[in-house]
Amino acid sequence: MTGKILGTGSCVPATCWDNNKLAEMVETNDEWIKERTGIAQRHVAGKEETTATLAAGACKAALENAGVSAEEIDLLIVATVSPGMLVPCTACEVQSIIGADNATCFDMNAACTGFLMALNTAQAYLAQGIYRTALVVGAETLSNLVDWSDRGTCILFGDGAGAAVVRAESEDRYAQVTHSTGAKGGVLTCASANVNTDVKEMPNTHIQMDGGEVFKFAVSKVPEVINELLAQENLTADDIDCFVLHQANARIVGSVAKRIGGDAEKFPMNIAKYGNTSSASIGIILDELNRSGRLKRGSKIVLAGFGGGLSYGASLITW
Ligand code: COA
């Protein structure tokens, strides 16, 4: 038995900053950002909006879309690198907001591969028969981690949440391949403030990145892991109806599409509207595709995530 996605939901902050707004803060411009990244705007959390409230908004929308009540959820996993609180975990905060009182709740951090890793984890629990209905959500308030004076990073990221309700009721195969390369983790970092400053210097608690190295990693490893998954499942790119990639940069998605050899239309993008929302991006675009009617029941979809860790992976689902 594997988990079928019964419904999806997403939630983004009310405030939206276009590239011209960022050009008032750092030396950049709309043309450069659009050309190098494909990003036109990003949502930025206000005072009342936290990772937990965005996650809860996405979860409520996903439950409604699935026709499932909060009480029916028995596993709730939040993927995030930007929890508002370390304890309680964001998943427990979400549980309290949405009333998923019967759920077991925990957070996962796999950076931009987070949604994929959380879905894989939920699928493993469902396949074992441990839980029946899971709620998987990727949620971020990266605006709290971004150095708004660093034009190399602040233009890229955005806030938001995307969720999926997954129930063990399918006979279709769920397949996945994941990898991590901790030795290269230094190219994309964000330190925790949890340090004894009597002994150590305060580390940089903002996102720091060697953009070129991350770019090279993504355009080589993402096609590689997708091809590994397809080979494992005896499939070719032609058998796949849609490749839903983590939205980090339009040029990365375009390059992966070329290397995989699939029709470019099979690689949807929404990065122009949201920027890179890390753990949330796959859930948000999946929700848009679902609500637009693009995903047909029975179609084969490859999800692919990649980012800090470094970690990357691809999963095959049947819609
Ligand atoms: N606006 C204007 N100019 C900028 C700029 C900005 N926001 N950021 C950098 N530049 C400048 C650089 O200083 C450099 O100037 P120079 O040639 O005078 O030195 C020039 O633009 C080119 O910089 P470079 O870093 O080579 O640009 P790039 O084409 O590699 O694009 C990224 C930079 C960050 C957009 C790109 O490397 C990238 O997207 N990397 C992957 C990042 C990512 O996806 N991270 C998350 C992974 S989950």
Residue 111 CA: which ligand 1 atom is closest? 48
* Beta carbons within 8 Å of 199's beta carbon, 6+ residues apart: none
Interval between CA 257 and ligand 1 midpoint (Å): 21
Task: Quote the pLDDT of residue 266.
Answer: 96
Residue nearest ligand 1's atom 11 by CA:
152
Check pocket membership of 32 for ligand 1, CB cut-off 6 A.
yes
Interval between CA 123 and ligand 1 midpoint (Å): 37
Distance CA 215, CA 37 (A): 11
Does the pLDDT at position 200 exceed 80? no
Is residue 70 within 8 Å of 100, Cβ to Cβ?
yes
Task: Quote the pLDDT of residue 194.
Answer: 82
Reported as a single tens digit per residue, the pLDDT across 10-39 is: 999 999 999 999 999 999 999 999 999 999
Reported as a single tens digit per residue, the pLDDT across 80-137 is: 999 999 999 999 999 999 999 999 999 999 999 999 999 999 999 999 999 999 999 9
Does the pLDDT at position 52 exceed 90? yes
Distance CA 102, CA 50 (A): 23
Does the pLDDT at position 285 exceed 80? yes
Annotated active-site residue in 92, 105, 112, 242: 112
State yes or no: is 29 an active-site residue.
no
Range scoring the smallest mean pLDDT among 262-271, 276-285, 301-310: 262-271
State yes or no: is 92 an active-site residue.
no
Q: Quick one: pLDDT band at residue 202, thresholds 50, 70, 90?
A: confident
Check pocket membership of 276 for ligand 1, CB cut-off 6 A.
yes
Check pocket membership of 254 for ligand 1, CB cut-off 6 A.
no
Task: Quote the pLDDT of residue 262.
Answer: 73
The average pLDDT across 35-64 equals 98
User: For residue 226, what are the CA distances in angstroms to 132, 212, 244, 318?
Assistant: 28, 22, 11, 16
Task: Work out whether strand 2-11 and strand 133-140 pair parallel, antiparallel, or are unpaired.
Answer: unpaired
Reported as a single tens digit per residue, the pLDDT across 138-179 is: 999 999 999 999 999 999 999 999 999 999 999 999 999 999
Annotated active-site residue in 89, 92, 120, 246: 246
State yes or no: is 246 an active-site residue.
yes
Nearest of 267, 271, 293, 294 to residue 284 by alpha carbon: 271
Nearest of 215, 217, 282 to residue 251 by alpha carbon: 215
* Beta carbons within 8 Å of 318's beta carbon, 6+ residues apart: 4, 170, 172, 173, 298, 299, 300, 301
Distance CA 79, CA 108 (A): 5
Q: Quick one: pLDDT band at residue 182, thresholds 50, 70, 90?
A: very high
Interval between CA 155 and ligand 1 midpoint (Å): 10
The mean pLDDT value of the chain amounts to 96
Q: Quick one: pLDDT band at residue 193, thresholds 50, 70, 90?
A: confident
Give the start-end residues of each E strand in 81-228.
104-108, 133-140, 160-170, 175-180, 188-189, 208-209
Is residue 132 within 8 Å of 168, Cβ to Cβ?
yes
Interval between CA 252 and ligand 1 midpoint (Å): 13
Task: Quote the pLDDT of residue 263.
Answer: 84
